[in-house]
């Protein structure tokens, strides 16, 4: 049997350097539980950065994968496949938009949204060639591609990768005044996460999303909501924009859209925006492939059938109240929307995450001082109580 140590040694010998906050090898997984090669069992409180909202290897999604694998897996966009129509229709209805454009990863969907906004600015807003501007919020995480890191102000993500994409302006998250001051006649769009995930589960001040919506309407600017991490029931709503009853112009979606089984991402927008793409102007070989569409359909079924939106909301509230009640000298704040929870301390939390791992819970810090708790949404109250006991025990000793 291959050991965890051997796996990690081989991976670091031949694999490029990567970020592995905790040295764990996951060899098997089911629901909220994962196992390493030695048979140690852990509760997954990260859910592959919210890609596994439906739980690991959900039987319905795995069945859809197997069934579709027996028919056809890839056609490229050169040909049609039977699943793309029903899948785009379903996602369009879910987002209340006219049209959906499939991609593969979250970063690619972000790229797609930025490209759509630029074309829209030239073709619908009469911005001069190459002058379109995009506004982003500091602290964001939109992915690893050049456009996405050009939106970022994180040193780890950007150092020595320049020159960056021009025409991007970064303002403080939640700062309406800064937004007003940054807008020019060339502004095409503002892109924001309705709750900043990688920044530490930062919930914007109440009314912020509404204000952004209002300003975008007044100034004729597109509101791009990056719901890659917050979408699909994670925050106790299907999309986190619903916390303020706001409809963005472009939804950016990924992660749990593929049920933790395959990569599939998308943007959704109305015709006025989406029709700026003409045949041949944008695309992806794997985008909207039948295997990913079949998996995604099942992933959406699971969210509906198992009422994961309500579950995330109810269990998230319960979990956050219990976490807030823990008395600990260094615990600063619990921030929660559904099962998207950040617990901020006044000290680095890596030692706490390590102790949690020793007690059977896998989680990680977002930045140095915040632990993110984001289990698969299929978690039961009993499983959450089990985790709460462990967390309390670890916090007493750390």
The C-alpha atoms of residue 223 and residue 216 are separated, in whole angstroms, by 6
CA distances from 215 to 187, 190, 211 (A): 12, 10, 6
**Annotated catalytic, 141?**
yes
Nearer to ligand PMP, 57 or 144 (CB): 144
Q: Does 365 bind ligand PMP (CB under 6 A)?
A: no
Q: Active site residue: 97, 170, 237, 255, which one?
A: 255
Residues 148-183 as b or e (16 or more Cβ within 10 Å = b): bbbbbeeeebeeeeeeeeebbbbbebbbbebbeeeb
Residue with tokens 């020595």: 160
Q: Extract the tokens encoding 222.
A: 């597109």
Q: Which of 36, 44, 226, 249 is an active site residue?
A: 226
Q: What are phi and psi of 370, to 5 degrees?
A: -120, 130
- Which range of residues in 70-78, 105-113, 273-281, 293-301 is near ligand PMP by CB under 6 A? 105-113
Rounded to a whole number of angstroms, the minimum distance from the CB of residue 184 to ligand PMP is 25
Pick from 25, 94, 107, 379 the residue near ligand PMP by CB under 6 A. Answer: 107
Of 36, 141, 223, 232, which residue is the catalytic one?
141
The correct pick among 139, 174, 197, 259 for binding ligand PMP (CB under 6 A) is 197
Whether omega for the bond prior to residue 163 falls within 30 degrees of 0, making it cis, is yes
Closest-CA residue to 119 (of 1, 16, 267): 267
How many residues interact with ligand PMP (rule CB under 6 A)? 15
The nearest distance, CB 144 to ligand PMP, in angstroms, is: 6
In the bound state, the residue with its beta carbon closest to ligand PMP is 106
Coil, helix or strand for 259?
coil
User: Among 361, 136, 359, 360, which Cα is nearest to 343's?
Assistant: 361
Output the smallest distance, CB 36 to ligand PMP, in A: 24
Q: Which of residues 211-270 bind ligand PMP (CB under 6 A)?
A: 226, 228-229, 254
For the bound state, the minimum distance from the C-beta of residue 19 to ligand PMP, rounded and expressed in Å, comes to 12
Region of 11-19, 70-78, 193-201, 243-251 interacting with ligand PMP (CB under 6 A): 193-201
Whole-number Å distance between alpha carbons of 291 and 67? 9
Task: Determine which residue in the list 36, 44, 193, 344 makes contact with ligand PMP, applying CB under 6 A.
Answer: 193
Query: Which region, judged by CB under 6 A, interacts with ligand PMP, from 57-65, 102-110, 152-160, 383-391?
Result: 102-110
One residue of 87, 141, 223, 243 binding ligand PMP per CB under 6 A: 141
Does position 342 interact with ligand PMP (CB under 6 A)? The reply is no
Sorted by sequence, the CB contacts under 8 Å of residue 58 that are 6+ apart come out as 259, 260, 261, 298, 299, 302, 378
5 is catalytic: no
Strand 33-35, strand 28-30: pairing? antiparallel
Cβ atoms of 255 and 232 closer than 8 Å = yes
- 111 lies in the binding site for ligand PMP (CB under 6 A): no
The Cα 295–Cα 21 span in angstroms is: 29
- The one-character DSSP state at 164 is P
The torsion defined by the Cα of 70, 31, 260 and 231, in degrees rounded to 10, comes to 130
Q: Which stretch binds ligand PMP (CB under 6 A): 87-95, 119-127, 136-144, 206-214?
A: 136-144
Least spacing, CB of residue 41 vs ligand PMP, in Å? 26
Instruction: Using CB under 6 A, pick the residue from 53, 105, 152, 296 that binds ligand PMP.
Output: 105
Least Å distance between CB 364 and ligand PMP? 12
User: Distance from first CA to last CA of the chain, Å, rounded?
Assistant: 35
Stretch that binds ligand PMP, among 74-82, 127-135, 173-181, 190-198 (CB under 6 A): 190-198
Footprint on this chain of ligand PMP (rule: CB under 6 A): 49, 105-107, 110, 141-143, 193, 197-198, 226, 228-229, 254
Q: Which residues are catalytic?
A: 141, 226, 255
């Amino acid at each position: 049997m291959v050991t965890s140590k051997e796996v990690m040694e081989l991976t670091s010998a031949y694999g490029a350097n990567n970020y592995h906050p905790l040295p764990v090898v996951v060899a098997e997984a089911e629901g909220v539980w994962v196992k390493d090669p030695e048979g140690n069992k852990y509760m997954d409180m990260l859910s592959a950065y919210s890609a596994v909202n439906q739980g690991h290897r959900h039987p319905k999604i795995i069945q859809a994968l197997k069934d579709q694998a027996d028919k056809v897996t890839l056609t490229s966009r050169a040909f049609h496949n039977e699943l793309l129509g029903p899948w785009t229709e379903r996602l369009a209805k879910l987002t209340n938009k006219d049209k959906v454009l499939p991609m593969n990863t979250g970063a690619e969907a972000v790229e797609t949204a930025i490209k759509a906004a630029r074309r829209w600015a030239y073709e619908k807003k009469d911005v001069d060639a190459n002058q379109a501007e995009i506004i982003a919020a500091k602290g964001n995480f939109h992915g690893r591609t050049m456009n996405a890191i050009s939106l970022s102000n994180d040193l780890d993500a950007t150092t020595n990768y320049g020159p960056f994409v021009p025409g991007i302006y970064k303002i403080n998250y939640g700062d309406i005044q800064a937004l007003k001051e940054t807008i020019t006649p060339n502004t095409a769009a503002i892109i924001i996460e309705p709750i900043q995930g990688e920044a530490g589960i930062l919930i914007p001040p109440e009314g912020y999303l509404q204000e952004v919506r209002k300003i975008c309407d007044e100034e004729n600017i597109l509101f791009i909501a990056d719901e890659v991490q917050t979408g699909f029931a994670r925050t106790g709503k299907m999309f986190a924009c619903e916390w303020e009853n706001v409809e963005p112009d472009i939804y950016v979606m990924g992660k749990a859209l593929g049920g933790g089984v395959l990569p599939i991402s998308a943007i959704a927008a109305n015709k006025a925006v989406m029709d700026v793409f003409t045949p041949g102007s944008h695309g992806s070989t794997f985008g909207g492939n039948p295997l990913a569409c079949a998996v995604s359909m099942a992933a959406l079924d699971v969210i509906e059938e198992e009422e994961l939106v309500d579950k995330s909301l109810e269990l998230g509230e319960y979990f956050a109240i219990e976490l807030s009640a823990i008395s600990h000298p260094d615990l600063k704040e619990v921030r929660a929307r559904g099962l998207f929870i950040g617990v901020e301390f006044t000290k680095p939390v890596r030692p706490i995450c390590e102790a949690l791992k020793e007690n059977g819970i896998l989680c990680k810090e977002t930045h140095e001082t915040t632990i993110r708790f984001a289990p698969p949404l299929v978690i039961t109250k009993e499983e959450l109580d089990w985790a709460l006991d462990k967390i309390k025990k670890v916090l007493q000793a750390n």
